Amino acid sequence: MAALALAPRRTVLADFVPGALARDLTLVVAGAALTGLAAQVALPIPGSPVPLTGQTFAALLVGASLGWQRGATSMLLYLIAGVAGVPWFQGGTSGAPVSLGYVVGFVFAGVLVGALAARGGDRTPLRTIGTMVLGNLAIYAVGVPWLMAATGMGVVKALSVGVLPFLLGDLLKIALAAGLLPGAWALVRRR
């Protein structure tokens, strides 16, 4: 983390939006709101206390588009506002104790995906796939242990209900990101 703070800031998609502080504040709030909106797309997974939502896709897209500082700040705002009572966690709830670890993981994913995007990790489909896979792993690295602690599940059970049912959806989200992010860069380069 210290190396990220000392490294010079590299360009991400958000840097092409004019402005400075007002732009950054607007983008951070918009990223949190986009994630909250995407969380409303929630499909229950039989046998799992965690639904399939669009919030993971939004969180990774926000991290890549805004960079690690704004992306992590946006996900931290999403987390804090949701815990404080904004009803924008999955399905319009403000409390998500079983799946809250995944939301905490969004903050770490925002840092990782944003840092990778600043180094070109979102410029081509193949790089975007790698970046998004690592972002998903960061989310699972926090979400699964939280799920285990909240439910008393063992690691095998937590993986079977908190990871395996989501892999196909994650692959689809990653494929979508692999088209969107490099496409956005192609549009920016034409300007």
Domain-located, residue 47: yes
Please name the residues in contact with 140: beta carbons below 8 A apart, sequence gap of 6 or more.
Answer: 102, 105, 162, 163
The Cα–Cα gap between 128 and 134 comes to 10
Domain-located, residue 162: yes
The Cα–Cα gap between 110 and 107 comes to 5
Backbone angles phi, psi at 53, to 5 degrees: -130, 170
Domain-located, residue 4: no
What is the reported pTM? Answer: 0.84
Domain-located, residue 8: no
Could you identify the residue written with the tokens 């990774």? 60
Count structural domains, the chain.
1
Number of residues in the chain: 191
CATH number of 57's domain? 1.10.1760.20
Q: Which domain holds residue 139?
A: 19-190
Give the pLDDT of the chain (191 residues) as one tens digit per residue.
Answer: 455 454 555 777 777 666 778 888 999 999 999 999 998 888 888 888 778 888 999 999 999 999 999 999 999 999 999 888 888 875 555 455 788 899 999 999 999 999 999 999 999 999 999 999 999 999 999 999 999 999 999 999 999 999 999 999 899 999 998 898 888 888 877 75
CA 148 to chain CA centroid, Å, is 21
What's the confidence (pLDDT) of residue 96?
58
Domain-located, residue 24: yes
